[in-house]
Amino acid sequence: MTTQTHDQLLSTIQDALKACGYTGSLEGGNLQTRTPLTGEDLFKIQGTTKEQATEMIAAADEAFKSWRDVPAPRRGNVIKRWGELLTEHKHDLGILVQVEAGKSISEAEGEVQEMIDICDFALGQSRMLYGKTMPSERPGHRLMETWHPIGVVGVISAFNFPVAVYSWNTANALVCGDTVVWKPSEMCALSALGAHALLARAIDDCGEDQNISHLILGDRTVGEVLLDDPRVELVSATGSTRMGREVAPRVASRFGRYLLELGGNNAAIVSPTADLDLALRGIVFAAAGTAGQRCTTMRRLIVHESIADKLVDQIVAAYKTLTIGDPRDESVLVGPLVNQGAFDGMQKSLEAAKEQGGEVLVGGNRVIVDDTEKSFYVEPAVVRMPEQSEIVHNETFAPILYVLTYSDFDEAIALHNAVPQGLSSAIFTQDNSEAELFLSASGSDCGIANVNIGTSGAEIGGAFGGEKETGGGRESGSDAWKTYMRRATNTINYSGELPLAQGVKFL
Ligand code: UN1
C-alpha cells in the first residue's frame, strides 16, 4: 500500500523537476501527462508544434557549425558535468521515471545509473576518437583516416527506458561533435523535462551553446519532422518493429542515416547441466522484472525435456511469490503495465497462445490496486507451448514467458533462432562446449548473447542492439560512437613527386 495522495504525488513531481532545474510551466498546455501507477492524469504541459520542431532543428544545425570545431575533450566536459548532475539528482530523476514508466525505485534509479555510466564512458571517448594510419603503397605518402562529426542527430526514444537510451545517444553524439534534437515518448514527457534540464544546466555550467540540445514534446506527428528534415543527418529510433519499418525507408529516401533498436523476442536455453538455482533467478528477473516491458525481457524459455518439469515448477512457485502493485511501496517487485493498450495486447496474446495449444501455468490475471480500474496491473504469466507456433514469434510488450522443450542441442539452437527478432539471448549451462557453440557463428543470431545470466540488464560498456527485425543498429558502448561520425580517408604526399597508385603511368 502506498500512502501518498494524488496531491502529494503532484508536489513530489514538481519538487523533482525543480531540483533538476526545470523552471517552465506545468500548466495550461495541450499535452496531458499521466501516471501508470494510478492511471490518473498529472500535469498538462506545453507540447511542441511542427513549426517549433523545425525551428529547433534549424537552431541545432546552426549550433553544429561551431560545436564541430570545439575540441572533443572540451565537448567531453559538458558530458562530465551532466554525469555529475545526474549523480546529484539520481533520486529526483528516478522518481520521475518511476511515476511515468511505473518502475520500482531501484530499477528507476538503475536507469539513471546507466546515464551516469555512459557519461563516464563518453568522457573517456572524447579523448579517443581514433582514426587509423595505414601504410601507403607509394614512397613519401601518408594514408590515414579522420573522424568528423556529422551534424544534427534526431533521437526518438520509447516509454520503457525514457531517459537511459536517450543518454546513450546524446552522450556519444555530443562528444563526437554533433548536436541533438530529442523526441521522447509522449508518455514520459516529465522525465524528459528533468533529463533535458540537467543537460541544459551542464551546458550552461560549461559556458557552451544551449542550442546543441533540443527537446520536442508531443505525439508521433511532431516526431515525424525529424524523419523528413534533411538537416537531421542521423535518426536514432527506439521502438516497435512496426515503427522501424516506417522510419527506415523514410530516412533512407533522403539518404539520411538511421540507427534502429526495435523489437526483441529474447530467449534463454536451459541445458540439463545448468545450475538451476542460478538459472531460476536469472529467468524470473529477466521475464517478470520491469513487468516484462524491457526490449531485453525474456519472452521464450527453451528448456531440455529432462529438466523441464522441475524447472517450470520452480518458476511457477517463484512467480507466485512476486509482489505486484504500486512500486512506491518498496516491497513491490512488479509494477504496472504502461496503459490499457498494453493490458489488452497481453490478453489477446494469451488467448492466441491458448488457441495454439498453450497452457497458462500461472498468471495473466488483472490485479486491481488501490480500488481503481484506471491503472493496469497484471500477474506475469508463464505459458507452456507444445511447439513453436505463430504467437511465439510475436513480441508482446508484457510479461508472458513461453516455455518450449528440446531434446538435442541443435534443435534448441534452431528453435532459438526461428523468430524474426534478434536482440538478446542467453544460455544456462555448465557445459563449456555448449556455451561456446551458443556464442559461435552457428549459435545465437542475436546482437547480445549471454552465458549464465539472463537476457536483460546489459551494461553500457558493450554495443547495444540486435539483428534481423531488431533493426541492426548499435548504440551505447564499444565502438558505437562511430555511427555518430563520418570517416574521411586522407592521403598526404610529401615526396615532391607524383607517383600514381596502382603503378599507373600518365603524362
Ligand atoms: C530497452 O529496453 O530499450 O539491457 C533498453 C537492459 C537495459 C536497457 C534496456 N540496460 O535491459
Question: Is 261 one of the annotated active-site residues of the chain?
Answer: yes
- For ligand 1, say whether the CB of 428 is within 6 Å of any of its atoms: no
CATH of domain 266-460: 3.40.309.10
Intervals of CATH 3.40.605.10 along the chain: 6-262+471-487
Contacts of 29 (CB under 8 A, 6+ apart): 43, 44, 45, 46, 47
Question: Mind listing the pLDDT tens digit for each residue in 213-245?
Answer: 999 999 999 999 999 999 999 999 999 999 999
pLDDT of residue 420: 98
Handedness of CA 91, 92, 93, 95 (dihedral sign): positive
pLDDT of residue 325: 98
Q: How far is the CA of 160 from the centre of ligand 1 (A)?
A: 9
CA angle (371 as vertex; 369, 374 as ends), nearest 5 = 75
- How many residues would you count in the chain? 507
Query: Burial of 24 by CB count in 10 Å (0-12 exposed, 13-18 middle, 19+ buried)?
Result: exposed
Q: What is the pTM of this model?
A: 0.97
DSSP letters, 380-421, are -EEEE-SS--GGGGS--SSSEEEEEEESSHHHHHHHHHTSSE
Whether 304 contacts 271, CB under 8 Å = yes
Active-site choice (111, 261, 379, 434): 261
Q: Does domain 6-262+471-487 have CATH number 3.40.605.10?
A: yes
456 lines ligand 1 (CB under 6 A): yes
Phi, psi of 219 (to 5 degrees): -90, -170
Pocket test for ligand 1, best of 112, 296, 448 (most atoms within 8 A of CB): 296
pLDDT, position 236: 98
Return the H-helix or E-strand segment holding 250.
Answer: helix 241-252
Work out whether strand 381-384 and strand 359-362 pair parallel, antiparallel, or are unpaired.
antiparallel
Which pLDDT score is estimated for 1? Answer: 61
CA of 424 to the centre of ligand 1 (A): 10
465 Cα–ligand 1 center, Å? 9
Which of 188, 175, 201, 228 is CA-nearest to residue 50?
A: 228
Distance from the CA of 166 to the center of ligand 1, in angstroms? 12
Query: What confidence score (pLDDT) does residue 89 get?
Result: 98
Cβ of 294 less than 6 Å from ligand 1: yes
pLDDT of residue 271: 98
pLDDT for position 388:
86
Which grid coordinates belong to 84? 555529475
Residue ranges of the chain assigned to CATH 3.40.309.10: 266-460
- Ligand 1 within 6 A of 78 CB? no
Q: What CA–CA distance (Å, rounded) separates 440 from 449?
A: 10
**Cα–Cα distance between 194 and 22 in angstroms, integer?**
6
Residue 103 · residue 111 · CB < 8 Å:
yes
Residues 415-455: pLDDT tens digits? 999 999 999 999 999 999 999 999 999 999 999 999 999 99
Strand partners, 180: 153, 213
List the chain residues with pLDDT less than 70.
1
Q: Which of 456, 460, 474, 475 to mutate to test the pocket of ligand 1 (most atoms within 8 A of CB)?
A: 456
